[in-house]
């Protein structure tokens, strides 16, 4: 699967369609898009932490959903009406301090559905802190 949008194009689209995503500062950003894959970053701040200093589950779920949306848009083009129909996440271990990276790959990009797998790990770490799968409903093209 070949990407049809660059990280800059996807960022520009998402900034226009979902400006609330970065209320309080840009925490989520796109590190890269390749054929069938995308890597998205969470620069965790105090608002993303739960007691004990670990990144909260909702912040990691947002990272997984954002990364899934990025990889799908990068491959179908500027279609903001793709919507999440299912998101399943397994939290595997407590993330250490620092940025988290969501590495997503398309498992299926069909006419009406897209299925994505996303591994979340600390920057420079091999061990996943969470693993997610997401299904998106795609608008008619």
Query: What does the pLDDT read at residue 79?
Result: 85
> How many structural domains is the chain composed of?
1
Mean pLDDT throughout 63-75? 97
Instruction: Give the pTM.
Output: 0.94
pLDDT tens sequence across 14-29: 999 999 988 888 999 9
CA distance 65 to 90: 13
Asked whether 13 and 78 are in contact (CB, 8 A), the reply is yes
Number of CB atoms found within 10 A of residue 35's CB: 11
Say if residue 116's pLDDT is above 80.
yes
CA distance 117 to 71: 10
* Domain span at 93: 7-137
Mean pLDDT throughout 57-82? 95
Asked whether 82 and 68 are in contact (CB, 8 A), the reply is no
**What CATH number does the domain containing 132 carry?**
3.10.129.10
Query: What does the pLDDT read at residue 22?
Result: 85
In a domain, 119, yes or no: yes
In a domain, 85, yes or no: yes
CA distance 39 to 91: 19
In a domain, 94, yes or no: yes
């Amino acid at each position: 699967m070949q990407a049809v949008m660059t990280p800059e194009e996807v960022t520009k689209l998402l900034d226009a369609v979902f400006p609330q995503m970065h209320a309080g500062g840009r925490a989520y950003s796109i590190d890269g898009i390749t054929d069938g894959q995308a890597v998205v970053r969470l620069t965790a701040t105090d608002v993303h932490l739960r007691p004990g200093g670990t990144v909260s589950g909702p912040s990691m779920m947002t990272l997984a959903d954002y990364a899934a949306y990025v990889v799908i848009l990068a491959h179908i083009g500027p279609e903001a009406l793709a919507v999440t129909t299912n998101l399943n996440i397994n939290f595997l271990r407590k993330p250490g301090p620092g940025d988290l990276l969501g590495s997503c790959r398309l498992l299926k990009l069909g006419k009406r559905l897209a299925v994505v797998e996303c591994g979340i790990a600390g920057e420079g770490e091999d061990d996943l802190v969470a693993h997610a799968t997401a299904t998106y409903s795609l608008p008619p093209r």
